[in-house]
């Protein structure tokens, strides 16, 4: 189970606010890294999304020192990092939120077995949102026996 993940945004406050709306969470300042926010969902699983300012990168400490932030003055707008999240909202609500924000969102088939809503935060970071129906299909498709069969048939 994934309990939290992080991503970078040009406007961490705005992105965190939209994510809180989508996952049913609350936004808090995230003090380890100035300008960061954290969205915490009241879902009993400790689900949280940390939203850092674009350009803040995490680097390992030396020896037994913990992670620390470094500033990259020339970060790329895009990243290969993404996540799929089950949400309570339906497709229409997700598409309306993205439209309101001026962000790309589109329903896509990932395989013949399941679909996702590609939701592009700031038109640069993709999250895959799964409505309750999409999540049921995803869970069935990603089960190891089904996944292996689909891989062999591809």
Asked if 22 and 129 touch (Cβ cutoff 8 Å), the reply is: yes
pLDDT value at residue 50: 97
pLDDT value at residue 83: 95
Domain with CATH 3.30.720 in the chain: 1-75
Each residue of 11-34: b (16+ CB within 10 Å) or e? bbeebbbbbbbbbebebeebeebe
pLDDT value at residue 35: 96
Return the CATH superfamily for domain 78-154. 2,3-Dihydroxybiphenyl 1,2-Dioxygenase, domain 1 (3.10.180.10)
d(CA 133, CA 74): 40
The reply to whether CATH 3.40.50 applies to domain 1-75 is: no
> What's 43-105 look like in SS3?
CCCCCEEEEEECCEEEECCCCCCCCEEEECCCCCCCCCCCEEEECCCCHHHHHHHHHHHCCCE
pLDDT value at residue 153: 73
Token code pair at residue 112: 């013949």
d(CA 54, CA 117): 24
pLDDT value at residue 148: 79
pLDDT value at residue 145: 83
Q: pLDDT 10s per residue in the chain (154 long)?
A: 789 999 999 999 999 999 999 999 999 999 889 999 999 999 999 999 999 999 999 999 999 999 999 999 999 999 999 999 999 999 999 999 999 999 999 999 998 889 999 999 999 999 999 999 999 999 999 888 887 777 777 6
Is the torsion defined by CA of 119, 122, 126, 128 positive or negative? negative
Q: CA 107 from chain center: how many Å? A: 16
pLDDT value at residue 89: 98
Domain with CATH 3.10.180.10 in the chain: 78-154
pLDDT value at residue 144: 87
pTM: 0.90
Asked if 121 and 15 touch (Cβ cutoff 8 Å), the reply is: yes
The torsion angles phi and psi of 95, rounded to 5 degrees, stand at: -65, -35
d(CA 143, CA 58): 33
């Amino acid at each position: 189970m994934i309990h939290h993940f992080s991503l970078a945004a040009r406007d961490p406050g705005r992105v965190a606010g939209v994510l809180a709306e989508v996952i049913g969470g609350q936004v808090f300042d995230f003090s380890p890294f100035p300008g960061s926010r954290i969205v915490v969902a009241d879902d009993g699983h400790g689900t949280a999304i940390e939203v850092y300012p674009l350009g803040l990168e995490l680097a390992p400490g030396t020896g037994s020192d913990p992670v620390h932030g470094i500033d990259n003055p020339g970060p790329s707008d895009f990243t290969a990092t993404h996540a799929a999240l089950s949400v309570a909202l339906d497709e229409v609500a997700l598409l309306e939120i993205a439209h309101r924000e001026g962000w790309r969102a589109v329903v896509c088939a990932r395989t013949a077995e399941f679909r996702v809503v590609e939701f592009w935060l700031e038109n640069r970071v993709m999250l895959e949102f799964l409505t309750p129906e999409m999540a049921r299909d995803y869970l069935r498709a990603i089960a190891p026996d089904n996944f292996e069969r689909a891989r062999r048939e591809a």
